[in-house]
Structure 1
């Protein structure tokens, strides 16, 4: 008969000690992961920067995550926007052919190219003066901006066959928009200091190729990732796994999830042709399976993020996340 069978104090102590040792060993071999612990969830499949709101984006191999969005050289995400004659921002929702205007960075100047138009160029970072200061309204915010001048304004008016259009630039020393003040139909978690320039809501959007692949299995005609104008495209994860990440870390950069990216008619625009899909796809299909509480009648696809720590990200970098 062993000491474990005798019920003695020594046997009881030995049993407790043995159990503790087993738990300790199991903890080393199979450690439990807490929600707040970072774990590998995928890798960066692509990086996109959209310096001009609703213009063609740039696919780059590396970029800097800044407090105001993804930055590549002198281009920072959504720092230029077109306004109507009454000073309100213009997007592909109203004018889908905006998708065909391509910005090119050439030294300290920017060149815009569009079908049927001679290219036009202007300074990438013009000074702020009394003569060029202007205002533009994005959503419910009206902020100061640099008016980029009559020449590019005339170029835009001719391309769009509209009058009164202006091009605005959010210069570094001009005020930015605080996501915590955004007006939404639901309670959103943006904090004071979560800043952006001319983005609808915040500085970053994250989406996975797996989610796109799942959506495309439900469509008659597949759509590319560019329809959704995300900044960080994730590979090596499951469909919609990005919904459950509360924060992500890529190299030294750290981003915090805010809320789901709710989708509108803009995702129906063919980014290579500048036309809306007549069947309103993929928006129509997204509404069938991606409506989530508390986001109402707009389907969710991708996640809005803000910056907690600056750093460079590269295609192929591993992504680590905490879970919500």
Structure 2
């Protein structure tokens, strides 16, 4: 969070649904006055539903953790030691690995209790337990790479490497688990281009591909499922943090600019363009033989703007990429009203 954002009033509390739009006014008024982003006025907000599901993904490309509440920070969702996408699997050269190339990664199921990260996998004889506090205390930062960008990380140790290699390896490769060692966002390439024109240098989060927050409209997902044959996809195919359920129509989110959940105000930076990871069944780790739902999405959800289309190619849009624009540290919880502008 920038220094300017620290001046945002910290004493705002959530109001009831009828007055929630006005309750957030003082929480971001100072921020609006000192930043270029023109946040909407309280009367501009429109209620579109509630927060139906809330997810965090402690390890990039591995299984989700379903939450009832969490804290919104500039680096993403947080619930105690559980933080969104602050760990990742890397190869021997410290290059990141994802379920695009290794779909069985989605079967690595993390849980976090206090500072203890526990990993389970169907092929593992025993779960793996890692004390993240010890990792921070005992390890020295080293460098790994995400999309060609160097990031500071702690190595989670040889036992983690042995465990991951045993459940993921189908060759002679060795895998490691690393933990993001910075309290600020990583560098991101392409800032200032048309695709990333709304991004700021602090919007890249920790180890996520692009942004710290992602939202899916349940109505859009329902519409997609109505078009699919012999397949039903869930929000987990798209790995969102927030699932919106309410009065919003399918793909109405294409025209939104800001979203407010509880006391948290988010700016929509870009549509989320989708890749092969959506075709991996989150329950089985098996990639769909017909490349669904990606192929169906391509039939009606390609970006039409020629400049953006050149940048993203045939990656269809589904969901929203967002960054926090209000004070870091406010809670979000299931059932919270969601407003848009």
Query: Structure 2 length as normaliser, TM-score?
Result: 0.80
- The reply to whether residue 280 of structure 1 matches residue 294 of structure 2 is no
Q: 1:52 aligns with which of 59, 77, 84?
A: 59
Q: Deviations over 1:165-185 (max 9, x none)?
A: 111101355x53145755978
> Can you give the 5+ residue segments of structure 1 that lack an aligned partner in the other structure?
1-33
May I ask how many residue pairs the two structures share in their alignment? 288
Q: How large is the Cα RMSD of the aligned pairs?
A: 2.0
1:82-231 counterparts in 2 under 5 A? 82-117=89-124, 118-128=126-136, 131-161=139-169, 162=171, 163-173=173-183, 175-179=184-188, 181=190, 186-220=195-229, 221-231=231-241
CA contact (8 A) 2:273 2:317 kept: yes
Q: 1:304 aligns with which of 306, 312, 321?
A: 321
- The reply to whether residue 317 of structure 1 matches residue 336 of structure 2 is yes
**In structure 2, C-alpha distance between the alignment counterparts of 1:167 and 1:320, rounded to whole Å:** 38
CA contact (8 A) 2:262 2:331 kept: yes
User: Mean Cα displacement is larger for which, 268-277 or 52-61?
Assistant: 52-61
CA shift in 2, pair 1:183/1:57, >3 Å: farther
Q: Which residue of 2 aligns with 1:20?
A: none
CA shift in 2, pair 1:196/1:87, >3 Å: same
- The reply to whether residue 252 of structure 1 matches residue 263 of structure 2 is yes
> Can you give the 5+ residue segments of structure 2 that lack an aligned partner in the other structure?
1-38
Residue 223 of structure 1 deviates from its aligned partner by 1.0
Q: Which residue of 2 aligns with 1:63?
A: 70
Query: Which one has a larger percent strand, Structure 1 or Structure 2?
Result: 1
CA shift in 2, pair 1:132/1:149, >3 Å: farther
Query: Structure 1 length as normaliser, TM-score?
Result: 0.84
**In structure 2, C-alpha distance between the alignment counterparts of 1:165 and 1:135, rounded to whole Å:** 15
Residue 242 of structure 1 deviates from its aligned partner by 1.7
Give the number of the structure whose alpha-carbon radius of gyration is greater: 1
Q: Which segments of structure 1 move beyond 6 Å, counting only runs of 4 or more?
A: none
